Amino acid sequence: MKLKLELSTGTYTTDKEDLKPSNIAVNEDCELKILDFGLARHAEVEMTGYVATRWYRAPEIMLNWMHYNQTVDIWSVGCIMAELLTSKTLFPGTDHIDQLTRIMFLCGKPDEEFLEKINSEEARNYIRSLPAITKKNFKDVFSGAHPDAIDLLERMLELDADKRPTATEALAHPYLAQYADPSDEPIAEPYDESFEDKELSVEEWRRLAHKEVNMFEEPKIRLIHAGISEIAQDMQSRMILEQHVPVSKNR
């Protein structure tokens, strides 16, 4: 669970929009890094629906919410957490419609309050045309998982982005309480992307490239998707242990 703790801290100031197992790296000390910030943006920017890998994409991206916020990453973290718990991709959609359908089969059909936040009239009409879909009981879907883990997962996989927890709120959840350490949870500095619009000479680009090379430190990491089965196995062992160990009344 240290992985989720560190992953969540990466969502404080930047919308990553492309969180998925293959963009997460971890070393032997369980120090985690988020890779590939090519799609990262600050919050409150107009964005399109084609920015993240479909399986981990928040529903508001597919439904063309023009002003979504940092909780798009919380949805992705929820998908990754579910994958660690079950060793299976949670929403392996084959296209946008199939992806949205799979999400609704777990989370239920969106209500009118949700639909009013969608800019696309076509998307609203499509969802309204669907038969009623009842939200599944997360305790049944993720049977065997710790109750606190299920509660956190259900909160992160909330359809309405405005009701999803922020990274700070997720870190304060009881399931992560034993791993939380506010003194060791730095908030990332805002990413300065203004350089992308600067007109620089060849010599200036050479100087910046040389500076970047000199700052490089040899990483000791392995991609999480290469070791995800090992991590999932460890989590499943923990769940089995928790089922057989009496829970303290003071918990």
- Determine the pLDDT at residue 231: 58
Please count the helices (runs of H) and the strands (runs of E) in the chain: 11, 3
Any idea which residues carry the catalytic annotation? 18
Give per-residue pLDDT as tens, 34-80: 776 544 444 444 434 343 478 998 998 888 765 667 788 899 999 99
CA-nearest of 128, 108, 131 to 120 is 128
Give per-residue pLDDT as tens, 189-238: 666 666 666 788 899 889 988 888 888 766 554 444 445 555 566 666 66
Give per-residue pLDDT as tens, 166-202: 888 888 899 988 877 777 766 666 666 666 667 888 9
CA-nearest of 99, 27, 25 to 63 is 99
Please tell me the distance from the alpha carbon of residue 236 to that of residue 232, in angstroms, as a whole number.
6
CA-nearest of 77, 90, 247 to 171 is 77
In this structure, of 90-94, 139-143, 147-151, the range with the lowest mean pLDDT score is: 90-94
CA angle 213, 217, 223 (to 5 degrees): 115
- pTM, two decimal places: 0.67
Please tell me the distance from the alpha carbon of residue 172 to that of residue 13, in angstroms, as a whole number.
17
